[in-house]
Each structure stands twice: as C-alpha cells, then as structure tokens.
Amino acid sequence: MAMRIQVAIARPERQEVIELELPAGSTVADALAAVGHANAPSVGIWSRACKPEAPLREGDRVEIYRPLRANPREMRRARARLKPSNRSRSGP
C-alpha cells in the first residue's frame, strides 16, 4: 500500500513542493533520498523538527530547511545598540 506525501524545499529565491508516492512504513530519510537531498542538514514534518528516522504518515509534508544567514538574537542586539534609549537610567 502506498502513501502520498509532499517534500518542500526552501530555496533562497523560491519554495519548491514535490509530491511523492512512497510505500507504507517509509521514513523521512526515504523521502529525502527520493528527491535527491539525502544529506539535508535540517528537516521537519509540518514545521516541527524531526530526525531522518522519523516515520511518515499519509498526507505528511516533509520540509527541508536552509541554514539561517544571521543569528536572530545577534541581529536584535545589534539593532538595540544602534538605537539609544529614551528612558533615563539615573532616575528623575
């Protein structure tokens, strides 16, 4: 018995969604191999991170994530350093 799933690949310029039909009992690793991304660094099912050994169910959406260009925490700290505070720290 086969199941239908989707594999979404986040490319810098666009998102690509590939529909697959895999045998029952397939894993995320099987889906990645089917689309040629067997060594994807970070993956998830429906926006939840998972390991390649995770089993798939009918209708799942496997997502291949690309690395972040910048650390969100560091970006926020950099913006905070550039913007001076309106509040006085010395009191009234």
What pLDDT score does 88 carry? 61
* Higher pLDDT pick, 84 / 50: 50
The CATH number of the domain covering residues in 2-82: 3.10.20.30
Q: Is the pLDDT of residue 1 over 60?
A: yes
Nearest to 10 by CA among 52, 86, 56, 69: 69
Q: Is the pLDDT of residue 75 over 70?
A: yes
Please report the beta strands in the chain, taking only residues with DSSP state E, as ranges in sequence order: 2-10, 15-23, 42-45, 48-50, 61-65
Beta bridge partners of 16: 9
Segment 60-87 shows an average pLDDT of 82
Q: Which tens digits make up the pLDDT trace of 14-73?
A: 888 999 999 999 999 999 999 998 888 899 999 999 999 999 999 999 999 887 778 888
* Higher pLDDT pick, 53 / 80: 53
- Is pTM beyond 0.75? Reply is no
Nearest to 41 by CA among 68, 61, 14: 68
Position 22, amino acid = L
